[in-house]
Structure 1
């Protein structure tokens, strides 16, 4: 029986333990009603064990729903990244396929009918960053009549800490893209799904950390090069977009603004607009004022030339803490007269998967309409 952090077995065991401890506490309480140290210690022990079991069950259920941590090592800060084997034989590039799977809910077992999801390992040629990702390839990618066609692609980022699998299983990006294309609401596109935490457990906020992980360069240079080497991804300009939620949303907006020659569009779902500094990030800037400023989108809008790119931001009037900042960001971008800005504003919705699932279909339609293909 697997007892991984995200295993259903672990969740069931935690719920059963909490239920048994609660029942045991009620059953044994009369026997522990005395004033002796054994009775008092027994009551304290039962209450403590019951509450710990309840907290564990609730925490595991929340992690199952929101994908905060992928493993016990990830939870306790011992995750040091996954080893990725890349064979550098002739013809091989910085991207290797390590597994394939069907698109959940696609209704077709063959790739040219239901598309395909590949799990890949990526090693940055210039940054040396190694990470894994899931790549959704639409059915058209495998159909003979499209064999010479290139496809638009969107990089899709989770929040922090996040898991790439949640983009497939919880946020349903591949299934949504497939359904939109089948309904004629969006063009077929490739999705490259990963988390922005490419140097776990550290939250690098997609910054080129002085003396540390060059995360922005990985997303701006290494990842696009790897994709175009391995897949039929539309070339520059305008073939790539980037989407993310929460931390991934901040990264998407920042990378699209900093690299409009690479990313024609960037969408930030529930994004913020300035890199935080906390225990998970460490010192991102190392006293480098230029790096600090570049991580602040407000500063970029005020002091740098407006990028020729398209941006999408989302928020909710009730339930999202970024609502006021998002309205202010929209006005700042509009004032540039060059950068194009769109928004999705819900009446209510929290900072969670349910809210993002409501925004993803319109987001994919939007970004697909701003990318080029051949």
Structure 2
């Protein structure tokens, strides 16, 4: 039974009702010696407490998109089939233009809470050695005959850690919010892509390549990107691609955009951080070398050539704002950085805050990206 599906939610509700009904029906009817009666009543109380805890977990998990599968919850999920050393650019020396097309079959998303129009597929990354689900939402203009020869800009969206690829659609309602804005012409028609980012159970990969462990960077910036370009009418130019994330996903988005201006023209980080050491479970915090190599602030400070990329970084004081200011101070043209302060009392580090920022983020992205 799926951890996030409706059947599991209904099962949890039924168990709570049963746990409440049992003591009411049986409390005074338990027979046997005193010790047996007390033990039976204790079991009923513990059962009630356990079902209440499960119910709270289900509601919180569904509301925040934390764990997608039982493997994610238990830390046993492993989506890495190989982790070869792919070199500085993460391609392993391959010319992606010469690689076979990756035209992936899609089906309607199985989780109805993600809203209408979301499609899903299971992708085997040919270069990264990662396998996982990818969700795609197409703009309302995609099937409009007037746009039949148009290639659309793409925004790759990343959750926090722990986090589900579904969260941008289910919790932040990005598709529900953006569709009317696109229909009114308030923002550009974007393809929105949400790939799996939890790849090694209870370890945060930092969306980086660590030979022998995981090639998360290549999964996101090479395999997923190529599949989207080959399967849909999506721009294949860097000025047609952006990456956005919240919390740990914000760190990933800034890092990926700074590392690959040849693949992304813009990066959006909501309540993120620069130093991977801010996330104790991060694989990229294991050594000083990895921390520095995957810190977007230090990447900008040490870049031989400033990357041609635009960054939108937001956060409250003590929750991403100061880090954003540091990145802005370190940036040199053609790198541009916009820092937005989330007001105190706006909701803290949570999905409600990030959901409210979605319209402004995509208005900004409309100014940064171009159609193919």
- Following superposition, the deviation at residue 210 of structure 1 comes to 2.5
Alignment partner, residue 312 of structure 1: 312
Q: Deviations over 1:223-265 (max 9, x none)?
A: 3233222322223241110111122111111101111221110
> Quick one: distance in 1 between partners of 2:69 and 2:111?
23
Indicate whether 1:300 and 2:296 are aligned: no
> Quick one: distance in 2 between partners of 1:103 and 1:373?
30
Instruction: State the TM-score, normalized to the length of structure 2.
Output: 0.81
* Structure 1 vs Structure 2 CA RMSD: 3.4
- Following superposition, the deviation at residue 275 of structure 1 comes to 1.9
Q: Secondary structure at the match of 2:105?
A: strand
1:158 and 1:328, CA in 2 relative to 1: closer, same or farther beyond 3 A? closer
Alignment partner, residue 93 of structure 1: 101
Q: Deviations over 1:124-160 (max 9, x none)?
A: 3322222221122223222222222221111111222
1:285 and 1:355, CA in 2 relative to 1: closer, same or farther beyond 3 A? closer
Indicate whether 1:370 and 2:368 are aligned: yes
Correspondence 1:136-285 to 2 at 5 A: 136-200=137-201, 202-276=203-277, 280-281=281-282, 283-284=283-284
Check the 8 A contact 1:105/1:175 in 2, yes or no. Answer: no
- Following superposition, the deviation at residue 39 of structure 1 comes to 4.9
- Give the paired residue count: 350
Instruction: State the TM-score, normalized to the length of structure 1.
Output: 0.80
Q: Secondary structure at the match of 2:337?
A: strand
> Quick one: distance in 1 between partners of 2:108 and 2:37?
57
- Following superposition, the deviation at residue 82 of structure 1 comes to 10
> Quick one: distance in 1 between partners of 2:265 and 2:279?
31
Alignment partner, residue 356 of structure 2: 358
> Quick one: distance in 1 between partners of 2:5 and 2:140?
31
1:291 and 1:73, CA in 2 relative to 1: closer, same or farther beyond 3 A? closer
Stretches of structure 2 lacking an aligned partner (at least 5 in a row): 82-98
Alignment partner, residue 110 of structure 1: none
> Quick one: distance in 1 between partners of 2:2 and 2:121?
22
Check the 8 A contact 1:117/1:137 in 2, yes or no. Answer: yes
> Quick one: distance in 2 between partners of 1:279 and 1:66?
20
Q: Secondary structure at the match of 2:166?
A: helix
> Quick one: distance in 2 between partners of 1:13 and 1:221?
40
Check the 8 A contact 1:80/1:201 in 2, yes or no. Answer: no
Alignment partner, residue 68 of structure 2: 70
Query: Which of 15, 18, 21 is the equivalent residue of 2:16?
Result: 18
1:332 and 1:272, CA in 2 relative to 1: closer, same or farther beyond 3 A? closer
- Following superposition, the deviation at residue 201 of structure 1 comes to 5.4
- Following superposition, the deviation at residue 199 of structure 1 comes to 4.6
1:328 and 1:356, CA in 2 relative to 1: closer, same or farther beyond 3 A? closer
Check the 8 A contact 1:265/1:367 in 2, yes or no. Answer: yes
Q: Deviations over 1:8-58 (max 9, x none)?
A: 3433433343344345546766789xx953454345433322221211111
Q: Deviations over 1:329-356 (max 9, x none)?
A: 3244234342212234332113222222
